[in-house]
């Protein structure tokens, strides 16, 4: 597919947003597979829970683990898009579960990953907010970091988001802890949305995201997960 034709032009370089990247049947299969995941595989955080597949990224290197076949299908779908440099393949999936009123603080994904990420959303929509972080003088002797919101992107169920360039390296991304979202003209990908209009109020339900990426520092030894 020509994913590069889905560029979000109302934001800095570069975000691509592809609606209906997967089918409703594939979405159901993903949600059912995640629901069947044994509890010990989950890492519980204060505002969400997650699973690492492919290994746990670490500055000293990731010890590679096998990715389940149901999930590897979507890794291969991403690899077939040729998002990365020649010879580089996705080898890691982070699954996040967000319930209504759950989110994530502003952050950068950082240097542990190749600077292109692909995210498939299932279940509920969410709004991803991007901001920059600049120093501001608070007095003659001190400064503080000030965050300025740059843009927002609505992620619909079954959509694909691709982030690279400045939007990966420079702008922090976050999800506000809200029960519902009100659509306004600050949503940068509004022209790419089919059934959403300004003024719509969208209640959140449970969302499962698959963030698929490449971890460069990975051991050749692989651990098979039974």
pLDDT of 159 > 80? The answer is yes
In DSSP terms, 218 is beta-bridged to: 62
Domain ranges of the chain: 3-217
pLDDT of 225 > 60? The answer is no
Record the pTM.
0.92
The fold of the 3-217 domain, in CATH, is: Jelly Rolls (2.60.120)
pLDDT of 139 > 80? The answer is no
Q: What is the pLDDT of residues 167-217, one digit of tens each?
A: 999 999 999 999 999 999 999 999 999 889 999 999 999 999 999 999 999
pLDDT of 125 > 80? The answer is yes
Q: Which residue has the higher pLDDT, 138 or 16?
A: 16
CA 51, 211, 84, 89 torsion: positive or negative? positive
Q: What is the pLDDT of residues 3-30, one digit of tens each?
A: 999 999 999 999 999 999 999 999 999 9
In the DSSP assignment, the letter for residue 67 is P
CA distance 51 to 191: 33
Tell me the DSSP string of 102-154. Answer: --EEEE---TTS-SEEEEEEESS-EEEEEEEEEEEESSSS-EEEEEEEEEEEE
Q: What is the pLDDT of residues 61-98, one digit of tens each?
A: 899 999 999 999 999 999 999 999 988 999 999 999 99
* Cis peptide upstream of residue 160 (ω within 30 degrees of 0): no
Label residues 52-88 b or e (16+ Cβ within 10 Å = b): ebbbebeeeebebbebeeebbebbebbbebebbeeee
Tally of CA atoms within 13 A in the half-sphere of 41 that contains its CB: 20
Q: Which pLDDT score is estimated for 174?
A: 96
Q: Give the other-Cβ count within 10 Å of 203's Cβ.
A: 11
């Amino acid at each position: 597919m020509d994913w590069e034709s889905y560029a979000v032009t109302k934001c800095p370089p570069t975000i691509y947003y592809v609606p209906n990247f997967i089918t409703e049947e594939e979405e159901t299969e993903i949600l059912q597979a995640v629901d069947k995941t044994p509890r010990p595989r989950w890492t519980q955080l204060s505002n969400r829970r997650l699973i690492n597949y492919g290994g746990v990224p670490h500055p000293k290197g990731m010890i590679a683990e096998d990715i389940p076949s149901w999930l590897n299908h979507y890794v291969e779908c991403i690899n077939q898009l040729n998002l990365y440099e020649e010879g580089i393949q996705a080898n890691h999936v982070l699954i996040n579960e967000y319930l209504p009123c759950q989110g994530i603080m502003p952050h950068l994904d950082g240097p542990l990953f190749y600077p292109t990420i692909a995210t498939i959303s299932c279940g509920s929509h969410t709004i991803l907010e991007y901001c920059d972080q600049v120093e501001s003088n608070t007095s003659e002797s001190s400064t503080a970091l000030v965050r300025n919101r740059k843009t927002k992107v609505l992620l619909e169920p079954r959509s694909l988001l691709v982030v690279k360039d400045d939007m990966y390296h420079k702008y922090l991304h976050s999800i506000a802890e809200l029960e519902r979202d009100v659509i306004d003209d600050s949503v940068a990908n509004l022209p790419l949305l089919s059934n959403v209009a300004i003024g719509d109020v969208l209640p959140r339900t449970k969302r499962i995201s698959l963030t698929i990426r490449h971890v460069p520092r990975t051991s050749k030894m692989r651990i098979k997960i039974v």
